[in-house]
Amino acid sequence: MDDSLLERAINNVVANAVEHTLQDGVITIEIEEEKGYLIFSICDNGEGFTQEALKHATEQFYMGDRSRNVKSHYGMGLYIADSVAKQHGGYLILENDADSHGAKVIFHIPIG
């Protein structure tokens, strides 16, 4: 496992969660082992992913909010996270959390 790549991917997802969560909101990070996978789950209580974002957010340069004109955003965060998961033989799941209704990003990274 390349710790630095995995750390970069998780940092990208956490930074997205911080940006999109509500003021005084909650971000949860859970780590567990299940069926040979290390699973990292990052969830916020923001507005969640749009249907379009659920389909395209891991594409390079995709930016869901086209009105954002911030130079520090290039549409690379979830693309990098997905690429890192794949480089480790794993995968990334994007969904909206049933409880918080916010965005939820789940890394599945095989152990061993």
Q: Which fold has domain 3-110?
A: Heat Shock Protein 90 (3.30.565)
- Tell me whether strands 91-96 and 37-44 are parallel, antiparallel or unpaired: unpaired
Global confidence as pTM: 0.88
pLDDT exceeds 80 at position 98: yes
Average of per-residue pLDDT values in the chain: 89
The pLDDT value given to residue 89: 96
What are the counts of helices (DSSP H) followed by strands (DSSP E) for the chain? Answer: 3, 4
Task: For 34-80, write each residue's pLDDT tens digit.
Answer: 999 999 999 999 999 999 999 999 998 888 765 444 555 667 889 99
Cβ pair 46, 28 in contact under 8 A: no
| Angle between helix 77-87 and helix 3-20 axes, rounded to 10 deg | 150
